[in-house]
């Protein structure tokens, strides 16, 4: 089974999710998305798999949300995705992909549903 986690090692939920995967015997491909952000196409696919709109995947409490203008209600899907690619700190974490599905690991146990 191919499993990928978009991971931030400084985030406790992200660390807990990765640990849970390891406890299940799953060796996931770890993508530190702050260092290697997903492309716009990858993020668009992730949003489709999550059945979410871009703003639903954004960390609106981050200062960068307003500083980068992502709070502008007139921005379309492509602009919001581009904003997350250029400022990956805005992407909610962790995101786990497995079996053609995706889930946000909040709580970490939610990833078990797609394994």
Give the strand order in the sheet containing 101-104: 29-32, 3-7, 95-98, 101-104
Q: Work out the end-to-end distance of the chain between its first and last CA atoms, rounded to an integer number of angstroms.
A: 8
Residue 55 belongs to a domain? no
Rg of the Cα atoms in the chain: 14
CATH at residue 14: 3.40.30.10
Known catalytic residue: 11? yes
Tens-place pLDDT, residues 76-108:
999 999 999 999 999 999 999 999 999 999 999
Tens-place pLDDT, residues 41-66:
999 999 999 999 999 999 999 999 99
The boundaries of the domain holding residue 14 are 1-33+93-115
Residue 100 belongs to a domain? yes
CA atoms within 13 A on the CB side of 59: 13
Residue 1 pLDDT > 90: no
Q: Indicate the average pLDDT of the chain.
A: 97
Residue 16 belongs to a domain? yes
Residue 4 belongs to a domain? yes
Q: How many domains does the chain have?
A: 1
Residue 101 belongs to a domain? yes
User: In Å, what is the CA distance from 76 to each residue of 32, 38, 56, 71?
Assistant: 26, 19, 13, 11
Contact of 109 with 115, CB cutoff 8 Å: no
Tens-place pLDDT, residues 13-45:
999 999 999 999 999 999 999 999 999 999 999
Looking at residue 93, the DSSP 8-state letter turns out to be: S
Residue 1 belongs to a domain? yes
Stated pTM of the model: 0.95
How far apart CA 115 and CA 3 sit, in angstroms, is: 9
Residue 25 belongs to a domain? yes
Residue 88 belongs to a domain? no
Catalytic residue, chosen from 3, 6, 11, 62, is 11
User: In Å, what is the CA distance from 82 to each residue of 49, 59, 79, 88, 94?
Assistant: 18, 15, 5, 10, 19
């Amino acid at each position: 089974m191919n499993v990928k986690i978009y991971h931030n090692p400084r985030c406790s939920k992200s660390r807990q999710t990765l640990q849970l995967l390891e406890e299940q015997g799953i060796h996931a491909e770890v993508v530190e998305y702050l260092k290697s952000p997903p492309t716009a196409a990858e993020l668009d696919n992730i949003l489709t798999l999550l059945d979410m709109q871009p703003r639903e995947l954004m960390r609106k409490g981050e200062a960068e949300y307003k500083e980068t203008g992502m709070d502008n209600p007139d921005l379309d899907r492509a602009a919001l995705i581009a904003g997350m690619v250029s400022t990956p700190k805005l992407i909610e974490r962790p995101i786990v992909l497995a079996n053609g599905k995706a889930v946000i690991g909040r709580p970490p146990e939610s990833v078990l549903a797609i394994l």
